[in-house]
Amino acid sequence: MKRGILIFLMIFTCLPSLWAQDRQVSGKVTSSEDSSPLPGVNVLIMGTTEGVITDMDGNYRISVPEGATLGFSYIGFAGQDIAVGNQSVIDVVMMSDATELQEVVVTALGITKDKMALSSSVTEVSGDQFTEAREINIANALAGHVAGVNVSNIGSGPAGSSRVIIRGNASISGENQPLYVVDGIPMDNTQFGNSGMWGGPDRGDGTSSINPDDIESISVLKGANAAALYGSRASNGVILITTKKGTKQKGLGLELQTNYTVDPIWDQTDYQTEFGHGWGGEPPDNELSGGHRSAWGGPLDGSIAMAWGADGVQRPYVNTFADGGTNMQKFYQAGQTWTNSVAVSGGDDKQTFRLSLSNLNNKSIQPNSGYDRLNAALSRASNSP
């Protein structure tokens, strides 16, 4: 009798183990985009730390308890939780999930770093903002886009140079402008002549020769810490210019852009037209009078007086623009700028390329002056490891 009771108790004790026997579940995980297998997918028994990963063919096999739920997760794809139930084969199709990554910045030698890991302040401006608000010199387009950056557009015409200062002047007598770096290569932005106390030509600088249509983005590194990447030349900050590159695609990509801008005269001071040249409230009475060089004459009443220029000819003392208009309107003209660019890009698994041509034709607001620029750019990148 005792032996029978003992056997019964042993059977009763083993029943829960029999009821809780694990189930073998297998399957394959593929991508929804091209049905390709996904290796390295995490397959986890929810509520536990037990799990497996898929092999190179996307296959997996795992033992799960009764009533278990499997969780599937993979970088770049939306996770899925699937209850096992009575299933022994569970195939999973994972949907791609585009997640915004943390901002990165291309620094010295083309090295990409997390923006939060940099010790200097960085501001990035997309290249689209330079083509929407057209400037012949791209340095002028930085005005209003980056905090702490002061841009001075020298009034020497469309081909004039620009002065960019980041966080104020650091030196009284030295150079205060930042270092310009194009695709990881420092660029000489020397001004080719500039106006001084006694005048002089301004033949532009390095940034005036860059085509805005070729720019992917511009990053501004502020502070002296930028010198840790580029040396002492970057003590006034760095302006990183990243140009557009070709992309892997079928066939060739073609970009066509045409832009036309008009520059009217903005500042037309409203000069007085009631009094003329002269001295002491009187018009000049002879060609040697100092009144020709002074603006303290009498009312423009139409009387006969010595005309401006001391040519010995008397003319009516009247406003020469009584018919309307001003000296500015009669001398200056509306500036016009035509920009046409074309770019061809393409690539495959091994390499990509981009070839661009651009032509700029400008007629300045000053007669007999303008600026013509022809750009050609070729970039090639290898995709080989």
64 and 123 housed in the same domain: no
Does residue 121 lie within any of the structural domains? yes
Cβ–Cβ under 8 Å, residues 180 and 207: yes
What pLDDT does 19 receive? Answer: 44
Does residue 145 lie within any of the structural domains? yes
Listed range (99-108, 187-196, 349-358) with the worst mean pLDDT: 99-108
For 2-13, write each residue's pLDDT tens digit: 555 545 445 545
Per-residue pLDDT at 353 exceeds 70: yes
| CATH number of residue 66's parent domain | 2.60.40.1120
The DSSP-derived string for 252-313 is -EEEEEEEEEEE----------SB-SBBTTB---STT-GGGG-B---B--S-EEEPTT--S-
For 24-41, write each residue's pLDDT tens digit: 899 999 998 888 899 889
Cβ–Cβ under 8 Å, residues 342 and 255: yes
Q: Two tokens at 46? A: 């929810």
Distance CA 376, CA 40 (A): 45
**What domain count does the chain have?**
3
Instruction: Please say which residue of 45, 69, 94 terminates a domain.
Output: 94
Listed range (11-15, 84-88, 252-256, 340-344) with the worst mean pLDDT: 11-15
Once rounded to an integer, what is the mean pLDDT over residues 183-194? 75
Once rounded to an integer, what is the mean pLDDT over residues 358-373? 89
131 and 40 housed in the same domain: no
Per-residue pLDDT at 1 exceeds 60: no
- Determine the distance from the C-alpha atom of residue 285 to the mean position of all C-alpha atoms in its chain, rounded to a whole number: 63
239 and 257 housed in the same domain: no
Give the residue, 214 or 229, on which the prediction is more confident: 214
For 235-250, write each residue's pLDDT tens digit: 888 888 888 888 888 8
Listed range (40-44, 54-58, 181-185, 267-271) with the worst mean pLDDT: 267-271
What pLDDT does 12 receive? Answer: 46
| CATH number of residue 123's parent domain | 2.170.130.10
Does residue 301 lie within any of the structural domains? no
Counting residues of the chain whose pLDDT is more than 90, the rounded percentage is 15
What pLDDT does 310 receive? Answer: 55
Does residue 8 lie within any of the structural domains? no
Per-residue pLDDT at 100 exceeds 60: no
| Most confident of the following: 44-53, 127-136, 231-240 | 44-53
Paired with 241 in beta bridges are 182, 218
77 and 123 housed in the same domain: no
Banded pLDDT at 206 (limits 50, 70, 90): confident
Instruction: Please say which residue of 182, 210, 243 terminates a domain.
Output: 243
Judged by DSSP in three states, 65 sits in coil
Listed range (96-110, 122-136, 177-191, 292-306) with the worst mean pLDDT: 96-110
Instruction: Please say which residue of 208, 243, 278 terminates a domain.
Output: 243
Does residue 375 lie within any of the structural domains? yes
Cβ–Cβ under 8 Å, residues 339 and 360: yes
What pLDDT does 358 receive? Answer: 93
Mean per-residue pLDDT of the chain:
78
Angle among Cα 316, 321, 327 to the nearest 5 degrees reads: 120
| CATH number of residue 348's parent domain | 2.20.130
78 and 111 housed in the same domain: no
What pLDDT does 90 receive? Answer: 92
261 and 214 housed in the same domain: no
What pLDDT does 349 receive? Answer: 81
Banded pLDDT at 376 (limits 50, 70, 90): very high
Per-residue pLDDT at 60 exceeds 90: yes
What pLDDT does 198 receive? Answer: 66
Q: Two tokens at 85? A: 């139930």
What pLDDT does 226 receive? Answer: 67
Cβ–Cβ under 8 Å, residues 215 and 209: no
131 and 178 housed in the same domain: yes
197 and 149 housed in the same domain: yes
Does residue 282 lie within any of the structural domains? no
Banded pLDDT at 231 (limits 50, 70, 90): confident
C-alpha distance from residue 286 to each of 193, 282, 315 (Å)? 44, 12, 12
88 and 160 housed in the same domain: no
What pLDDT does 16 receive? Answer: 47
The DSSP-derived string for 82-108 is EE-TT-SB--EEEPB---PPPPEEE-G
Domain range spanning residue 357?
Answer: 253-267+333-382
Does residue 138 lie within any of the structural domains? yes
Does residue 293 lie within any of the structural domains? no
119 and 213 housed in the same domain: yes
167 and 217 housed in the same domain: yes
Once rounded to an integer, what is the mean pLDDT over residues 11-28? 63
What pLDDT does 76 receive? Answer: 79
Per-residue pLDDT at 18 exceeds 50: no
234 and 261 housed in the same domain: no
Per-residue pLDDT at 287 exceeds 80: no
Once rounded to an integer, what is the mean pLDDT over residues 88-101? 79
